[in-house]
């Protein structure tokens, strides 16, 4: 039986095992997908198990998307561009590859929602984890401006090494934008609130939260209350998983109402 994992810290909120094991059963694959909470010093030993074929694939979530890079034999173009890895596999040359399915996952989720971001101004809250992937996808979708605000401003400034045209503002500033994306971990706990006043943003804007569990964060509730469109990260999560599943198993799993409803149970 092949073994797959999602690693992170914290990891309890992850629905990756639920989704991947559903697809594994649907496609009658002899495999199991589990979640594992790790510390930084466990990473090297775990990646070695991929090389030894004791583990056949790994998904990576916060806070390890950058720190796993030093243990990869090779990075895909997407992972290189964002300096962020969320999917690991062994290629035919027995090289451990670090790949990034978050870029396409985000873009596919926006397209599925029939939202056109061409020439739109976007504000991202947060600078870690999935943020480089979202910026990369937004550039691909030809937005007019990407603005980042992070509680530690220096971390946001570091992203300029990867994306020269990025605009960095102070946490708490709310410029005029068409889209606000919460890419912080504020919202993973139901009581979490982003202490920002969004009332100046206006109506009919897009509030997008990369968090999908819980399915409606206080950030989304605030956006909806002000008359905006509120979307959680469920579709992004499903599409990034879809790409990883295809890499590992050579199959394109179904994305239907059963899959989407499964994640709400």
User: Which are the catalytic amino acids?
Assistant: 65
Judge contact between 116 and 174, C-beta under 8 A.
Answer: no
**Can you tell me whether residue 230 is helix, strand or coil?**
strand
Judge contact between 247 and 89, C-beta under 8 A.
Answer: yes
| Sign of the Cα pseudo-torsion (246, 249, 250, 252, in order) | negative
What is the per-residue DSSP string for 90-159?
E-TTSPEEEE--HHHHHHHHHHHTT---TT-EEEEE--STTHHHHHHHHHHTT-SEEEEE-SSHHHHHHG
Q: Which residues pair with 169 in a beta bridge?
A: 149
């Amino acid at each position: 039986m092949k073994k797959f994992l999602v690693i992170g810290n914290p990891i309890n909120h992850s629905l990756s095992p639920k989704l991947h094991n559903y697809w594994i059963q649907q496609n009658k694959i002899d495999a199991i997908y589990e979640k594992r909470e790790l510390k930084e010093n466990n990473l090297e030993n775990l990646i070695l198990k991929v090389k030894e074929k004791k583990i056949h694939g790994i998904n990576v979530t916060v806070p390890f998307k950058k720190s796993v890079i030093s243990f990869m034999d090779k990075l895909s173009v997407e992972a290189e561009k964002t300096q962020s890895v969320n999917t690991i596999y062994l290629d035919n040359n027995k090289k451990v590859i670090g790949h990034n399915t978050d870029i396409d996952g985000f873009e596919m989720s926006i397209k599925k929602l029939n939202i056109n971001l061409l020439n739109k101004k976007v504000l991202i809250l947060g600078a870690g984890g999935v943020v480089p992937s979202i910026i990369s996808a937004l550039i691909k979708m030809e937005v007019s401006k990407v603005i980042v605000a992070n509680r530690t401003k220096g971390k946001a400034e570091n992203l300029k090494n990867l994306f020269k045209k990025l605009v960095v503002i102070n946490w708490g500033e709310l410029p005029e934008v068409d889209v606000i994306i919460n890419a912080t971990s504020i919202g993973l706990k139901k009581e979490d609130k982003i202490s920002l006043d969004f009332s100046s943003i206006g109506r009919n804007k897009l509030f997008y939260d990369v968090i999908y569990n819980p399915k409606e964060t206080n950030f989304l509730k605030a956006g909806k209350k002000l008359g905006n469109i509120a979307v959680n990260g469920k579709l992004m999560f499903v599409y990034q998983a879809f790409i990883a599943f295809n890499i590992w198993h050579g199959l394109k799993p179904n994305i239907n109402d059963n899959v989407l409803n499964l994640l709400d149970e």
